[in-house]
Structure 1
């Protein structure tokens, strides 16, 4: 079942027919991984345990290994992320935040997906 096309930090998109744009397949998986990582646990009323709250880790001392472990545990909760090969997660401190790069295999296609984002 498709999801609405809605990337974190952007608006809903309109398709060529004027309807709301939908996504499925690989792009749906990418959206879901990013949404899970940036949703603060306890704020999604239908599932209070949903979310990693990566942005809450920024602002103090950042333990890149700990943050990578949190990300790994959360992305494996998404059906679109294959467990093999093991995802590559790189957390790099930047000025006032972190840059996260995740390389994983799409569970349905086996194709490599790269997700990269910054959290200020």
Structure 2
């Protein structure tokens, strides 16, 4: 089922007919994984437990194994992420934050999906 095309940190996009653009397939899965990782628990009043809260961890003592485990546990909550092959998750420190690289298999197509982003203050 399509959803609104919306990547974290950007505006909604108009579709070819002037309506709001929709998305489905692997792009929708990527958007959902990113939204889950960057949403702080408690930010969604109807789903207070939703989200990994990576932005709130910026400035905290960096524990790379714990952060990697948090990301792994959260992405598996999305139907778009296949459990096998095991996702590759790399978290690296950058100035005032972390850089995250995730390679996972799309659950519907088996296609390898790359998601890379920085979280900083």
* TM-score, length basis structure 1: 0.98
- 1:1-120 matched pairs, under 5 angstroms: 1-120=1-120
Using the TM superposition, give the Cα deviation of residue 55 of structure 1 relative to its aligned residue in structure 2, in angstroms. 1.0
Give the deviation of 1:60 after TM superposition: 2.2
- Over the aligned positions, Cα root-mean-square deviation in angstroms equals 0.6
In structure 1, stretches of 5+ residues that fail to align are: none
- Displacement of 1:61 after TM fit? 1.5
Unaligned runs of 5+ in 2: none
Runs of 4+ in 1 over 3 A off after TM superposition: none
Q: Figure out how many residues of one structure are paired with residues of the other and give that number.
A: 120
TM-score of the superposed pair, with normalisation by structure 2: 0.97
